[in-house]
Amino acid sequence: MIRTDKIRAMVYKELKQLQRDRLTAAMVFGIPVMQLLLFGFAINYNVRNIPAAWCDQAESVKSRQIIQDIQAGQVLDLQIQTRTPEELRQLIQSGKVRAGVLIPQDLSSRLQDNRSSFQILTDGSSSVVTGAVTSLASLPLYQGEHSIDYRNQEALPIQVLPLYNPEQRTAVEVIPGLIGIILTMTLMLFTAIALVRETEHGSMEMLITTPVSPMEIIIGKLLPYIGIGIFQTILVFLLGILVFRLPVNGRITDIALAVLMFISSTLSMGLLISSFVKTQFQAVQVSIFILLPSILLSGFVFPYEGMPAFARGLSKILPVTHFIELMRGIVLRGAGIAEMPLQIGVLLLFIVITMSLAWLRMRNKQLD
């Protein structure tokens, strides 16, 4: 026979326990608020102000007017002018810009013949960016004294060329970023839970009282999970190549270096989480709280070109944002790791800061 008074007592007990667990109570409020703010303000499919460069080989009144028309459309933010098409491609390859406008020398004759007048090269590793740039194909362009709308003509004046993923296959775009999400999801959570579990069982206090230093404890805890992260990366790459025909255009050494840096940053975050929480349940909560913005703001699902300034600023703090840029740059665009110093610098700085904080926390526990 089920008694309602006993059920009420159990409900009262759980509510009191939640009230004492401040972290859980904060998550009950924080997770829905964070999701609402991210989806409401940060997520935007209308991509604008895509960083772009241009190469004007015609250098005429018409070509300058075309550049002004494109800039006024606010889809592309023309930041850099190059002298040759090769420089334009190098900027896209290194990730400094996401698109490039190439105007040929014979622009006038092409406009008169109603042929494809100029090209816009896009970073094909982002289908959203390519789709936004494709909308420029219907832009009314300057010719003579009036602007002419080419939308009703057979030959559009703009030819959009997606580089590095000409077939626009979703798997090619997703797999390099998916590696970062998988490593963040598994390694950060595994590391945090493993250390908290030892604290709950009392074995961490025994380790701290031994002659083993905090740094030696940290390194010993990290090494097995570094191996797990390498295994997961190799597995995803093999499946991507064999099943989805993922092209690997960059050097294996650059990929390995980027993966090792990201694994280190993810594990250091897991260590830092474990130094602040007291239970495995709390470790899972905090990991989820970090994982959500890592998925939504990293550019893996939604392009951060369409996000407001505060969301883009937050995304630059997340290591997965820079790792996805590295992987897409190396794997798809064939860029060298030295061509992306900003991403490398942020990952290294993140590792130094989080590892230092984790080491200080463990050292304080040892002194206590």
Over residues 245-265, the mean pLDDT reads 94
Over residues 210-214, the mean pLDDT reads 69
Per-residue confidence (pLDDT) for residue 11, from 0 to 100: 77
Q: Environment class of residue 225 by beta-carbon count within 10 Å: exposed (0-12), middle (13-18) or buried (19+)? A: buried
336 or 276, higher pLDDT: 336
**Domain range holding 109?**
50-163
The reply to whether 154 falls in a domain is yes
The CATH number linked to 77 is: 3.40.1710.10
Domains: count for the chain: 2
The reply to whether 264 falls in a domain is yes
Rounded to whole angstroms, the Cα distance separating 173 from 301 reads 10
Are 59 and 180 in the same domain?
no
Per-residue confidence (pLDDT) for residue 365, from 0 to 100: 61
> Parallel, antiparallel, or unpaired for β 99-103 and 76-81?
unpaired
Per-residue confidence (pLDDT) for residue 205, from 0 to 100: 63
The reply to whether 6 falls in a domain is no
Are 299 and 323 in the same domain?
yes
Are 62 and 177 in the same domain?
no
242 or 154, higher pLDDT: 242
- pLDDT category of residue 148 using cuts at 50, 70 and 90: very low
The reply to whether 39 falls in a domain is no
Are 92 and 143 in the same domain?
yes
Per-residue confidence (pLDDT) for residue 140, from 0 to 100: 60
| Most confident among 88-92, 194-198, 310-314, 363-367 (mean pLDDT) | 88-92
Q: What global pTM score does this model have?
A: 0.82
Are 153 and 235 in the same domain?
no
Are 149 and 209 in the same domain?
no
Are 315 and 223 in the same domain?
yes
Are 237 and 131 in the same domain?
no
Domain edge (last residue) among 163, 191, 214: 163
Per-residue confidence (pLDDT) for residue 153, from 0 to 100: 45
Helices and strands in the chain, H and E counts:
14, 7
What is the 8-class DSSP label of residue 60? S
Residue 318 has pLDDT above 50, yes or no: yes
340 or 297, higher pLDDT: 340
The reply to whether 2 falls in a domain is no
Per-residue confidence (pLDDT) for residue 146, from 0 to 100: 43
- pLDDT category of residue 214 using cuts at 50, 70 and 90: low
Per-residue confidence (pLDDT) for residue 2, from 0 to 100: 67
For residue 77, the number of C-alpha atoms closer than 13 Å in the C-beta half-sphere is 12
Over residues 41-65, the mean pLDDT reads 85
Rounded to whole angstroms, the Cα distance separating 261 from 258 reads 5
Domain edge (last residue) among 163, 193, 214: 163
The reply to whether 216 falls in a domain is yes
For residue 8, the number of C-alpha atoms closer than 13 Å in the C-beta half-sphere is 3
Are 77 and 202 in the same domain?
no
18 or 55, higher pLDDT: 55
Amino acid at 124: G
- Lowest-confidence segment of 55-64, 243-252, 269-278, 357-366 by average pLDDT: 357-366
The reply to whether 58 falls in a domain is yes
Are 239 and 310 in the same domain?
yes
Are 223 and 299 in the same domain?
yes
Q: What is the mean pLDDT of the chain?
A: 82
Are 253 and 327 in the same domain?
yes
Over residues 51-80, the mean pLDDT reads 89
Conformation bin of residue 176: beta by default, left when phi > 0, alpha when psi is -120 to 50:
alpha
Domain edge (last residue) among 146, 163, 180: 163
Over residues 102-130, the mean pLDDT reads 84
181 or 40, higher pLDDT: 181
The reply to whether 176 falls in a domain is yes
